[in-house]
């Protein structure tokens, strides 16, 4: 249910908002630990992050994505607006489809990344990691569009893992198995509309469920009832972090500094520097950052974001990266021991021309054993493919577990 | 590589558009100037406002026309003639104790001895400082953050000019350029009346009062290195006509009654324009004499710009705040204390700095001044072509009258403001009311309509340190080339700003030929 009324003059007393799923999250939250995700309370881990992670890979896990910033963009100029905003060509995104993109400032530096839902002709939902409403309003000048941040009006759950489709089928959502990756569909549900997209942040089979906050709890209950025999369990943000690193997904604030929150210009990154060349479509005559990115394409980028396969099993968090002659060339931005790939993996930023596939590097890892610190210069190699990319992620219809 | 520019379209035949056309045509570019009005000149124009009475409808004094342009384009051969030059500024006084300022020389019954010495020093110093500011007027402003030779050279020149002032003057330059005229005039002069008159130079035409920072900068911008005010024969339109003649002689095509409705884009390049009657024209480059907001939002459309740049243009300060008063008079007006020969000078009504500040205060709150500041000329004293024999025209800039007047410029508001102007005038020129045959009041809203300038702003974009040189109108378009390939600016919104100088047009032509951007 909706846990606060933002229009009430006393709403400041609410401080950090409980999510519309809060009553259910609180029941499951054995650790009684809460973290803050922008305006909302979020759960780092309900019981044990590794168990929750394995639910995401072996059965299915449920993660509350209500706090994600959401915007509704409507009006006759919604498409030209979106196309000027983001780097990729939104005109190719048909109604009922979802697309991932980044958006840049005029210097071609990434402000944020997120997903664009083409809800219907002339209507888009933009989901982002960071708050974007001011940037969107700046972008709206000269366009006939209406832009509303509706973060608080939409409750969301990510249902991720191999049994996720089976759970949804059990909820009697006709045709759910025919939904292709990045597709979406709406269903009548308990007197309201339940929107489901085949999207997620885990690199696996998975869905995101969107509903009005007053139906949040009934959705949770129905979902967990349907999933009881399919290993469903709630997931916290720690487990999600592991899942997304394995999938090779970058995160604002972790793998790059969002341009609008960055004071020192050398610390921002272009899409090319984040390995997102495929998102930049120069066939569009104008989009934010186009001129700067054209120039960068000709003159070269400063950095490369690489996936590293590192020897041994000590996570390379916060490590420096060196070339084979031990010259510092960058640093690790995200790292973990990957239980599914059985590899010690990391995402790292290195200075060009470093960063080519198969390039050998060294990673300086500090680790503790019974409080005693050790240091290791671990061998690492740049790999091209994500560490976790199972065929079931794309298979339609998905297997019925 | 940029290929040589062979053809150009210029949107707007203001004086800068014409100057730009002349220079490009002389360089062999096929130029077409498209002017929406029925005559060239933009706000440097002469027109009839009452049967038999001609007036400079926008700018009414010539004081900043670039000497280089004058000689290079041979404007005298193309018909430019002065009706009067070296006009003193007279700070009027109700009791006739006026002060007269001619360069560094102060005279008149209101002039104090200590102010006479101070005036000489003030003139010398302001001239030196204005030299620094105007020193880069005919150069492309440097781009920031580049290591290109031209940019560094241009920046170096500015630094050198400041350094060359010598320790004492350099300190003073750096101290006062950002501050307000109230403080520096208070430090230098005794007569409240003189300070009032001098403070007008720092505030007229801008949204600044005497105590607003930046007003010293504006005074310096107006300080034209000792050259005084002049009146062209036939009004300010004569300057534009001479420029048009020069452009035509150089081979430019000039069209009036040609309103550009939009700039045409070919993928990511400006390729031409569409006129309001549907006619389309193409060229290698499009150069806009219109103000930045009109150019980028009305003619091009924000959607063709990246958002950061569009946002900067959106926030440019373009609120005009000076009205124009035109009077047709049955005979010479009688300003208390002035003889007939003095009537043709630049006359100021600005009793003291407090008076000026009060006049401005109203504008801050969306009101017009209850007791306005006036800058008056009676050009028909020098130029018989402007009015029937024995009759005269009076032209006055009236401050402050904000564009976005609270409640709007209704008939009632206009009538009331006109009445306030006349009652102030009547105090200085008793009997003036009885001589009025016709009157015309142009508010900033009228000027926006007549001259196509956003906000009716003289300078297109507020004149200030934060909108000067490489900051004018805004980074990304400060070298006349805009972020849109093939689209250039040549209006007062660009360096070095407004007033009838011709510099913007000349610099823009240079930028186009250089193919920068």
Alpha-carbon gap: B265 to the closest alpha carbon of chain A (Å): 9
Cβ-defined contact of A286 to B476 (cutoff 8 Å): no
User: For residue B21, is pLDDT > 80?
Assistant: yes
Per-residue pLDDT tens over the stretch A40-79: 999 999 999 999 999 999 999 999 999 999 999 999 999 9
Residue B418 · residue B85 · CB < 8 Å: no
C-alpha of A165 from chain center: 20
Reported as a single tens digit per residue, the pLDDT across B422-469 is 999 999 999 999 999 999 999 999 999 999 999 999 999 999 999 999
**pLDDT tens track for B355-371:** 999 999 999 999 999 99
Inter-chain CB proximity A142 and B309 less than 8 Å: no
Q: What is the spatial distance between Cα B8 and Cα B287, in angstroms, rounded to a whole number?
A: 7
Q: Find, among A64, A210, A51, A75, the residue nearest to A140 by Cα.
A: A75
pLDDT per residue as tens digits for the range A80-91? 999 999 999 999
Can you tell me the mean pLDDT for A90-101? Answer: 97
CB contact under 8 A, A84 and B297: no
Average pLDDT taken over every residue of chain B: 95
ipTM: 0.93
Q: For the packed helices B215-222 and B192-203, what is the interaxial angle rounded to 10 degrees? A: 80
Pick from B301, B476, B483: which is nearest to A142 by CB?
B301
Do B303 and A285 count as a contact with CB atoms less than 8 A apart?
A: no
CB atoms within 10 A of CB A401: 18
Minimal-distance CA residue of chain A relative to B267: A285
- Given CATH 3.30.1360.120, say whether it is the number of domain A11-66+154-235: yes
Inter-chain CB proximity A141 and B314 less than 8 Å: yes
Name the residue in chain B with its Cα closest to that of A105: B308
Tens-place pLDDT, residues A259-299: 999 999 899 999 999 999 999 999 999 999 999 999 999 99
Cβ-Cβ contacts under 8 Å, B297 against chain A: 142
Question: How many angstroms separate the Cα of A164 from the Cα of each of A183, A226, A231, B230?
Answer: 15, 10, 10, 84
Q: Residues B369-396: what's their mean pLDDT?
A: 97
Asked whether the beta carbons of B273 and B100 are under 8 A apart, the reply is no
pLDDT-based confidence at A384, cuts 50/70/90?
A: very high
Question: What's the CA angle centered on B345, arms B322 and B227, to 5 degrees?
Answer: 85
Domain boundaries, chain A: 11-66+154-235, 302-388
pLDDT value at residue B419? 98
| Continuous segment of H or E residues that includes residue A345 | strand A343-351
Q: How far apart are CA B336 and CA B329, in angstroms?
A: 17
Pairing of strands A360-369, A372-383: antiparallel
**The pLDDT of residue B1 is above 50:** no
A80: chain B residues, CB-CB within 8 Å = 303
Nearest residue in chain B measured CA to CA from A291: B483
Which pLDDT score, from 0 to 100, does residue A107 have?
96
pLDDT at B135: 80
Residue B227 confidence (pLDDT) above 70: no
Q: What's the pLDDT at B517? A: 40
Contact yes or no for B476 and A290 at CB 8 A: no
Contacts of A369 (CB under 8 A, 6+ apart): none
Is residue B125 within 8 A of residue B185, CB to CB? The reply is no
Q: pLDDT over 70 for what percent of chain A?
A: 100
Backbone angles phi, psi at A23, to 5 degrees: -60, -40
A106–B302 CB contact, under 8 Å: no
Q: Is A286 within 8 Å of B307 when comparing Cβ atoms?
A: no
How far apart are the C-alpha atoms of A246 and B418, rounded to whole Å? 75
Q: Is the pLDDT of residue B255 over 50?
A: yes
A213 secondary structure, DSSP code: G
Residue B304 C-alpha, separation from nearest chain A C-alpha, in angstroms: 6
pLDDT in the model for residue A400: 86
H runs (alpha helix) in A300-370: none
Set of chain A residues whose Cβ sits within 8 Å of the Cβ of B311: 138, 141
Q: What is the CATH number of domain A302-388?
A: 2.40.30.110
**DSSP classification of residue B342:** G
Give me B231's structure tokens.
């009146």
**pLDDT tens for each residue of B144-154:** 888 888 888 88
| Set of chain A residues whose Cβ sits within 8 Å of the Cβ of B293 | none
Least CB-CB distance to B304: which of A107, A286, A289?
Answer: A286
Distances (CA, A) of B146 to A302, A304, A368, B142: 17, 24, 47, 9
Do the first three CATH levels of A11-66+154-235 and A302-388 match, i.e. the same topology?
A: no
Cβ–Cβ of A286/B305 closer than 8 Å?
yes
The distance of Cα B246 from the centroid of its chain, to the nearest Å, equals 21
- Smallest CA–CA distance, residue B264 to chain A, in Å, is 13
A-to-B residue pairs, Cβ atoms closer than 8 angstroms: 50
Q: Could you give the angle at the alpha carbon of B411 between the alpha carbons of B408 and B417, nearest 5°?
A: 80
Residues of chain B positioned with their CB less than 8 A from the CB of A260: none
pLDDT score recorded for residue A296: 98
Distance, CA of B45 to CA of A158 (rounded, Å): 67
- pLDDT surpassing 50 at residue B516: no
- Closest-CA residue of chain A to B311: A138
Taking residues A318-335, report their average pLDDT.
Answer: 97
Maximal CA-CA distance, chain A: 65
């Amino acid at each position: 249910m909706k846990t606060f009324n933002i229009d009430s003059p006393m709403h400041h007393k609410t401080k950090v908002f409980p999510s519309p799923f809060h009553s259910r999250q609180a029941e499951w939250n054995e650790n009684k630990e809460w973290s803050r995700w922008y305006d909302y309370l979020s759960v780092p881990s309900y019981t044990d992050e590794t168990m929750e992670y394995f639910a995401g890979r072996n059965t299915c896990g449920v993660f509350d994505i209500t706090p994600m910033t959401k915007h509704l963009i409507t009006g006759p100029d919604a498409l030209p607006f979106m196309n000027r905003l983001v780097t990729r060509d939104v005109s190719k995104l048909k109604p009922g489809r979802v697309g991932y993109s980044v958006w840049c400032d005029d210097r071609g530096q990434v402000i944020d990344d997120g997903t664009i839902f083409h809800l219907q002709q002339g209507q888009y939902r933009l989901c982002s990691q960071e708050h974007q409403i001011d940037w969107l309003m700046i972008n709206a000048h000269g366009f006939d569009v209406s832009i509303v941040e509706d973060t608080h009006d939409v409750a969301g759950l990510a249902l991720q893992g191999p049994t996720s489709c089976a759970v949804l089928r059990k909820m009697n959502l006709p045709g759910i198995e025919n939904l292709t990756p990045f597709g979406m569909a709406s269903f009548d549900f308990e007197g309201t509309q339940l929107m489901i997209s085949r999207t997620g942040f885990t690199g696996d089979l998975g869905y995101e469920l969107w509903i009005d906050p007053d139906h949040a709890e009934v959705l949770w209950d129905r979902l967990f009832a349907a999933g009881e025999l399919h290993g469903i369990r709630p997931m916290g943000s720690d487990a999600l972090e592991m899942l997304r690193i394995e999938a090779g997904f970058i995160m604002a604030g972790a793998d790059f500094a969002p341009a609008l929150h960055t004071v020192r210009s050398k610390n921002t990154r272009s899409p090319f520097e984040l390995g997102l060349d495929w998102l930049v479509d120069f066939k569009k005559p104008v989009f934010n950052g186009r001129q700067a990115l054209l120039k960068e394409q000709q003159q070269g980028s400063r950095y490369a974001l690489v996936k590293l396969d590192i020897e041994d099993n000590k996570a390379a968090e916060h490590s420096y990266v060196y070339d084979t002659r031990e010259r510092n060339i960058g640093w690790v931005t995200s790292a973990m021991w990957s239980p599914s790939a059985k590899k010690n993996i990391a995402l790292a930023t290195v200075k060009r021309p470093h960063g080519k596939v198969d390039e050998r590097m060294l990673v300086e890892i500090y680790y503790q054993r019974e409080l005693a610190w050790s240091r290791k210069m671990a061998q690492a190699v740049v790999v091209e493919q994500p560490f976790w990319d199972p065929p079931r992620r794309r298979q339609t219809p998905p297997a019925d577990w | 590589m940029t290929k040589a520019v062979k053809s150009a379209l210029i949107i707007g035949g203001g004086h800068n558009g014409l100057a730009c056309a002349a220079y490009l045509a002389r360089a062999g570019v096929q130029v077409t100037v498209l002017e929406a009005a029925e005559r060239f000149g933009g706000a440097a124009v002469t027109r009839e406002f009452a049967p038999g009475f001609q007036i400079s409808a926008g700018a009414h004094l010539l004081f900043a026309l670039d000497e280089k342009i004058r000689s290079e384009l041979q404007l005298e051969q193309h018909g430019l003639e002065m009706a009067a030059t070296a006009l003193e500024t007279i700070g009027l006084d109700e009791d006739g104790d006026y002060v007269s300022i001619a360069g560094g020389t102060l005279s008149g019954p209101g002039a104090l001895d200590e102010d006479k010495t101070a005036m000489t020093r003030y003139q010398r110093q302001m001239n030196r400082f204005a030299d620094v500011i105007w020193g880069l007027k005919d150069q492309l402003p440097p781009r920031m953050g580049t290591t290109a030779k031209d940019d560094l050279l241009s920046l170096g020149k500015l630094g050198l000019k400041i350094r060359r002032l010598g320790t004492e003057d350099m300190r003073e330059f750096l101290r006062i350029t950002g501050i307000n005229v109230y403080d520096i005039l208070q430090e230098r002069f005794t007569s409240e009346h003189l300070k009032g008159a001098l403070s007008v130079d720092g505030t007229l035409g801008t949204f600044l009062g005497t105590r607003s920072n930046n007003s010293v900068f504006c005074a310096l911008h107006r300080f034209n290195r000792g050259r005084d005010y002049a009146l062209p024969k036939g009004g300010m339109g004569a300057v534009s006509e001479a420029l048009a003649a020069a452009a035509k002689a150089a081979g430019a095509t000039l069209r009036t009654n040609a309103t550009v409705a939009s700039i045409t884009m070919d993928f990511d390049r400006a390729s031409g324009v569409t006129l309001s009657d549907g006619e389309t024209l193409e060229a290698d480059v499009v150069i806009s004499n219109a103000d930045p907001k009109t150019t980028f939002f009305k003619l091009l459309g924000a959607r063709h710009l990246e958002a950061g740049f569009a946002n900067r243009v959106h926030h440019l300060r373009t609120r005009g705040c000076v009205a124009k008063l035109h009077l047709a008079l049955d005979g010479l007006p009688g300003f208390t204390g002035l003889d007939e020969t003095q009537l043709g000078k630049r006359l100021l009504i600005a009793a003291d700095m407090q008076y000026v500040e009060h006049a401005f205060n109203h504008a801050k709150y969306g009101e017009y001044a209850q007791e306005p500041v006036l800058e008056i000329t009676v050009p028909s004293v020098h130029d018989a072509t402007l009015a029937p024999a024995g009759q005269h025209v009076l032209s006055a800039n009236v401050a402050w009258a904000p564009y976005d007047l609270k409640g709007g410029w209704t008939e009632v508001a206009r009538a009331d403001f006109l009445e306030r102007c006349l009652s102030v005038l009547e105090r200085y020129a008793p009997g003036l009311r009885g001589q009025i045959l016709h009157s015309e009041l142009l508010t900033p809203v009228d000027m926006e309509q007549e001259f196509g300038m956003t906000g009716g702003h003289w300078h297109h974009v507020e004149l200030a340190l934060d909108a000067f040189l490489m900051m004018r109108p805004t980074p990304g378009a400060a070298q006349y080339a805009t972020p849109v390939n093939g689209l250039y600016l040549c209006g007062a919104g660009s360096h070095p700003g407004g007033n009838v100088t011709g510099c913007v047009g000349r610099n823009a032509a240079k930028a186009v030929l250089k193919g920068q951007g």
